[in-house]
Amino acid sequence: MRRISIFGATGSVGVNTVDLINRGGGRAAFDVVALSGGANIALLAEQARNLGARIAVTAYPQHLDELRRALEGSGVEAAAGPDALTEAASRPTDWAMSAIVGVAGLRPTLELAASTRVLALANKESLVCAGALLRARCAAHKTRLLPVDSEHSALWQAMNGEDAAKVRRLILTATGGPFRTWSLAQMANATPAQAVAHPTWDMGQRISVDSASMFNKALEVIEAANLYDMPAAAIEVIVHPQAIVHSMVEFCDGAILAHLGTPDMRAPIGYALNWPDRAPLPVPPLNLETLRQLDFEPPDPLRFPALRLARQVLAAGGGHGAAFNAAKEAALDAFLAGQIGFLDMARLVEDVLDQPYVRAVITQIPRDLNTVLTIDTVARNAAEDWIAKNKGLVSD
């Protein structure tokens, strides 16, 4: 029986993964080693009971008693906190999903890279913060790293069986998010509720706001560069509001291979779960007759400066990715808390990367987890300073 683990099982990607596992036969077909979640203990316990997991871990120690009570009599072990997460991630599996959101997913992901055969990676932050480290760890343990991000799954499927040296361009599609047609003035006053309302994809809160600012696409450009060893200049972003073409690869002869499908995360998750095979998935088929039209437009660099910042991060290399992600996470928290405006997020990130004491720590490529976490802390401190200085000044 295939041994599997799901980290971030209670989130948007996690719930879709559990859905596919259940449809694939659940506990009768899979040996579920570990599931992890956060504060939604009722859901984590229900998933763990249904799937007969050996261990369920909440990220938060204050929820351990509640988790123990919810699992009483089930035979599922309960654990809590970052060390328990790391321990659970070190248990051997054949397939593991990394779907914790943010840099919090980095330590468990690095652990999974050493303990599983196939690592399905939704946590793009791991590649942004520590791409070289994660790839080296996968290589050392002969772990197959499979992208779950829909764009990167699309690229990977288009490149399947092709010579990587013959790839000329990677073309990442972006929906443009809820503010695609908004003016700068409107965006300056955008609320968290408006930013979360994604027009085509149903995702977690944080990635939805990142989609609205295109910080998500910025992370994805860095993710693609890391996954496919491509220079920033060979990675393009094109806005495609229908979210049907999930990305494209252009080869040296000018041929462009695209991956099309209904926007549903169960498609890329299912591809990674069934790889190297394909199997039917519960994704509604694409109806080209009703669709009729696919639109493409260039992203507006003035309204979406995150894309320019991603290119600067790639050009600078070293620990810039880790600082970029940390500043972005801090900016997102401050925006969600109503401390700064929507457009301030990119200003904050750009200013943090320019701080002399941040620059002093990001010139080296981080070769170990502690270096990444140090850069993360320095950048977060710089972000806190920025927020303290600029709080309440409405941007426009």
Question: 356-361 long-range contacts, Cβ below 8 Å, gap at least 24?
Answer: 357/382, 358/323, 358/382, 361/319, 361/323
**Least Å from the CB of residue 332 to Mg ion:** 16
Closer to ligand NAD at the Cβ: 197 or 393? 197
**Least Å from the CB of residue 14 to Mg ion:** 16
**Least Å from the CB of residue 363 to ligand NAD:** 26
Phi, psi of 155 (to 5 degrees): -60, -45
**Is residue 217 packed enough to be buried (19+ CB in 10 Å), middle (13-18) or exposed (0-12)?**
buried
11 lies in the site for ligand NAD, by CB under 6 A: yes
For the chain, list the strands marked E by DSSP. 2-7, 30-37, 55-58, 77-80, 93-98, 116-121, 144-147, 167-174, 235-239, 245-251, 256-260
Q: Which residues contact 205 (CB under 8 A, 6 or more apart)?
A: 196, 336
Closer to ligand NAD at the Cβ: 333 or 385? 333
Binding partner of residue 270 among ligand NAD, Mg ion, none, CB under 5 to 8 Å per kind? none
Binding partner of residue 223 among ligand NAD, Mg ion, none, CB under 5 to 8 Å per kind? none
Are 353 and 377 within 8 A, CB to CB? no
Closer to ligand NAD at the Cβ: 13 or 306? 13
Question: Which ranges of 122-276 would DSSP assign to H, the alpha helix?
Answer: 124-140, 150-159, 184-188, 192-196, 205-213, 215-228, 266-274
Nearest to ligand NAD by Cβ — which residue? 11
Site track 200-219 with ligand NAD (rule: CB under 6 A), x = hit? -x-xx-xx------------
Find the part of the chain contacting Mg ion (CB under 5 A) among 147-155, 240-248, 261-269, 381-389.
147-155
- Which tokens go with 5? 């683990």
Find the part of the chain contacting ligand NAD (CB under 6 A) among 7-15, 157-165, 175-183, 242-250.
7-15
Q: Which of 56, 89, 99, 267 binds ligand NAD (CB under 6 A)?
A: 99
Q: Which of 4, 41, 119, 122 binds ligand NAD (CB under 6 A)?
A: 122
Binding partner of residue 67 among ligand NAD, Mg ion, none, CB under 5 to 8 Å per kind? none
The CA distance from 156 to 133, in Å, is 21
Are 262 and 12 within 8 A, CB to CB? no
DSSP 46: H
Look-up: residue for tokens 């399947």?
A: 160
At 395, the amino acid letter reads S
Q: Which of 111, 125, 149, 210 binds Mg ion (CB under 5 A)?
A: 149
Are 111 and 36 within 8 A, CB to CB? no
What does R_g of the chain's alpha carbons equal in angstroms?
20
Binding partner of residue 100 among Mg ion, ligand NAD, none, CB under 5 to 8 Å per kind? ligand NAD
Site track 138-177 with ligand NAD (rule: CB under 6 A), x = hit? -----------x----------------------------
Q: Which of 125, 329, 344, 351 binds ligand NAD (CB under 6 A)?
A: 125
Find the part of the chain contacting ligand NAD (CB under 6 A) among 6-14, 48-56, 135-143, 255-263.
6-14
8 lies in the site for ligand NAD, by CB under 6 A: yes
Binding partner of residue 303 among ligand NAD, Mg ion, none, CB under 5 to 8 Å per kind? none
Number of other residues whose CB lies within 10 A of the CB of residue 40: 16
| Binding to ligand NAD in span 48-87, by CB under 6 A | 59
Site track 191-230 with Mg ion (rule: CB under 5 A), x = hit? ----------------------------------------
Closer to ligand NAD at the Cβ: 355 or 375? 375
The CA distance from 326 to 376, in Å, is 5
Q: Measuring CA to CA, how many Å separate 225 from each of 63, 99, 236, 321, 380?
A: 38, 20, 11, 12, 24
Contacting positions for ligand NAD (CB under 6 A)? 8-14, 37-38, 59, 99-101, 104, 122-125, 149, 201, 203-204, 206-207, 265
Contacting positions for Mg ion (CB under 5 A)? 149-151
